[in-house]
Structure 1
Amino acid sequence: MTDVDPLSADWSPAQVEVMHRLRDWVVGFTALNQHLAAWMRLPVSDANALGQIIWAAEAGEPLSPARLARQIGMTTGATTILLNRLETTGHVVRSRESADRRRVTLRPAPGSREQARRFLALAGAEVADVLGTTPPGELRAVASFLARITAATAEADGRLSAAAGSRTP
């Protein structure tokens, strides 16, 4: 960690532009997630969780409930209630795929996965076009930058969480 004060540092126009574009991406992604929620007829928090479960399954790295809770910023108790809703409505399947039968794996139900695919085919055309027409070198540079900024964000989150845990009310 450096001793830079982000509010008073002399940022270059390019650095400011990057921060604005990252903010814009978050706003746009949030709007698309709200559309997904409406498409799936789910609360936004449930659609966000379902999206995380689908992306993880597509990547071959299915989530556990605890990992999902960390990704969506909810407590494990609140995540359990959310997963109960998703399971009851047929969107998510919990299974025990590990030798350790206590470990639960989350998978999207086939119908929900297909419904999300239809949504992405409609909603993701512009993003797919940009990804498809961006030169590989530029994609690698952006991916590298995003990995570093994500790691920095995770480091700050860990530091802040540790500090919050060490405070007594």
Structure 2
Amino acid sequence: MANADPLTENWTPIQIEVMQRLRDWAVGFGEMHRHLAVWMRLPVSDANALGQITWAAEAGTPLSPAELSRRIAMTTGATTILLNRLESAGHVQRSRESSDRRRVTLRPTLAAREHARRFLAFAGTEIAATLHAADPEELRVVTAFLSKITEATENANRRLEP
């Protein structure tokens, strides 16, 4: 399949449906993210960065400014300006937590986390209800599939980097 032309490949109806649903989810997630930006009174780029910082911190893998730059597709200089805005507004803290004191770690402030939690409690009720109602086996299958799609996407992105 690695040499298949994705524009001419003979896709099955279910494969097409999966790609359409993934696209629909990505579009919907982007729209929710824009609503979060309005909720937090931030430009979309700042809200995107704050979201990346928050999710990474919640996962126990806080970001460095360089990793944030990569994730949000901004230059390091533009990311520094963005981080200065978020820090001045009380949304982000920079710290030197590792043994390498040169490495800066980004974390959301408690106030920013609480503000985002209030948004998720208000805006995420349908998503939470869907997840809570799902069969655990269905969730395991979806998680396994999404992990494979994510890995394939990461591999493609690595290959495409200069």
Number of residue pairs aligned between Structure 1 and Structure 2: 162
1:71-91, Cα deviation, whole Å (9 max, x unpaired):
222222221111111011111
Q: Which residue of 1 aligns with 2:81?
A: 81
**Gap runs ≥5 in structure 2:** none
Deviating runs (4+, > 4 A) in structure 1?
none
Q: Which residue of 2 aligns with 1:142?
A: 142
Write the mapping of 1:1-169 to structure 2, written as runs, cut at 5 A: 2-161=2-161, 165=162
What value does the CA root-mean-square deviation take over the aligned residues?
Answer: 1.1
Q: Percent identity?
A: 67
Whole-angstrom CA distance in 1 between matches of 2:66 and 2:17: 35
1:23-59, Cα deviation, whole Å (9 max, x unpaired):
0001100000000000000000100110111111222
Q: Mean alpha-carbon deviation: is it higher for 79-88 or for 64-73?
A: 64-73
**Gap runs ≥5 in structure 1:** none
Whole-angstrom CA distance in 2 between matches of 1:153 and 1:59: 20
Q: How many Å apart are 1:149 and its aligned residue?
A: 0.9
Whole-angstrom CA distance in 1 between matches of 2:72 and 2:149: 18
Whole-angstrom CA distance in 1 between matches of 2:82 and 2:153: 26
Question: What amino acid is aligned across from residue 90 of structure 1 in structure 2?
Answer: G
What is the TM-score of this pair, normalised by structure 1? Answer: 0.92
Q: Secondary structure at the match of 1:37?
A: helix
